[in-house]
Amino acid sequence: MASLIAPSKHNPIEDAEALQRAVKGWGADENAIIAILGHRNGTQRTQIRQAYYDLYQEDLIKRLESELSGDFERAMYRWILEPAEREALLANIALKNANMNYHVIVEISCVSSPDELFIVRRAYHNRYKRCLEEDVATNTTGHLRQLLLGLVSSFKYGGSEVNARLAQHEADILHEAIKNKNHNHEEVIRILTTRSKTQLVATFNRYRDDHGIAITKKLLDEGSDDFHKAVRIAISCINDHSKYYEKVLRNAMESDGTDEDALTRVIVTRAEKDLEDIKKVYYKRNSVHLEHAVAKKTSADYKKFLLTLMGKEE
């Protein structure tokens, strides 16, 4: 369930006019901006961008970028985009990063539905005049490249059929591959990048039933290089992405310094999808409400904005 609270009806022209009042003159009215955009869904935000352009011949995103700053600006910039456009942006930022944040690439590939992922790839074309695979491939090598390329390029079957014998067979292949270390990356990659989500979940369950340990836990003992990490993240995202995101949020706020990039990414990308579910998992795991944790680790407009997206007004 989404955490975003958006009205079923809104007037894009009135919204655009109110936003113009909020950004004109000295200093922007951040409260007004949050009150509007923090309560509009993807379609509504796109209508507002269009109405704003029609009224003022100006790109609302560029205007907000120049008026806002810091974590709040970055969060707003990500939020205002349509979901597929935003994932394309996040993938591109991850790829441009000096030590490539491959976990963002794995997340986008493994959490999105096959059709959603395809729309992200199309959005990447439109935005960067290149394909996503191209940038993934030029920034990686070896087995990590093969895994990431396979994941971002996949168009997995989305049906609910499960082949139990195949699950057994491939759980065995995964077991052998982990046991013999580094000896059969190819088959691990093949299984993860081509089998349907439902089939993979059956395979992971088979593994746990046979060996009494979750495959992600087992992998943890085996290696901590980028390839092993990426495999673990892929399995976590496929198995239960709410749990995966809970962990990302927990890690982002656990250390002394907060990882605002991760915090923003999860809240902004999940707010109109399933942040309510993630909030529940977070509370169950930490006995603290996610909103309280976020409120403690953030401040000012950034804090207000994230809380708004989480459905929690101050």
| Binding interface with its own copies (CB under 8 A) | 118, 121-122, 125, 129-134, 137-138, 141-142, 145-146, 149-150, 153-159, 161, 186, 190, 193-196
Give yes or no for a contact between 84 and 116, defined as CB atoms under 8 angstroms apart.
yes
CB of 217 to its own copies, least distance (A): 27
CB of 106 to its own copies, least distance (A): 16
Measured from the CB atom, the residue of 197 and 279 that comes closer to its own copies is 197
Measured from the CB atom, the residue of 154 and 242 that comes closer to its own copies is 154
CA dihedral of residues 50, 52, 54, 59 (deg, nearest 10) = -80
Q: CB-based contacts of 292: which residues, under 8 Å, 6+ apart?
A: none
Measured from the CB atom, the residue of 7 and 142 that comes closer to its own copies is 142
Give yes or no for a contact between 3 and 38, defined as CB atoms under 8 angstroms apart.
no
Instruction: Please give the DSSP secondary-structure letter assigned to residue 272.
Output: T
Residue 64: name the closest of 5, 24, 11, 35 by CA.
Answer: 24
Alpha carbons 156 and 171: distance in angstroms, whole number = 19
Give yes or no for a contact between 23 and 67, defined as CB atoms under 8 angstroms apart.
yes
Cα Rg, the chain, nearest whole Å: 21
Give the N- to C-terminal CA distance of the chain in Å, as an integer: 21
Measured from the CB atom, the residue of 170 and 260 that comes closer to its own copies is 170
Give yes or no for a contact between 245 and 270, defined as CB atoms under 8 angstroms apart.
yes
CB of 149 to its own copies, least distance (A): 7
Measured from the CB atom, the residue of 125 and 292 that comes closer to its own copies is 125
CB of 143 to its own copies, least distance (A): 10
CB of 168 to its own copies, least distance (A): 16
Measured from the CB atom, the residue of 5 and 100 that comes closer to its own copies is 100
Report which residue type is found at 97.
Answer: N
Measured from the CB atom, the residue of 64 and 191 that comes closer to its own copies is 191
SS3 call for 11: coil
CB of 206 to its own copies, least distance (A): 18
CB of 249 to its own copies, least distance (A): 31
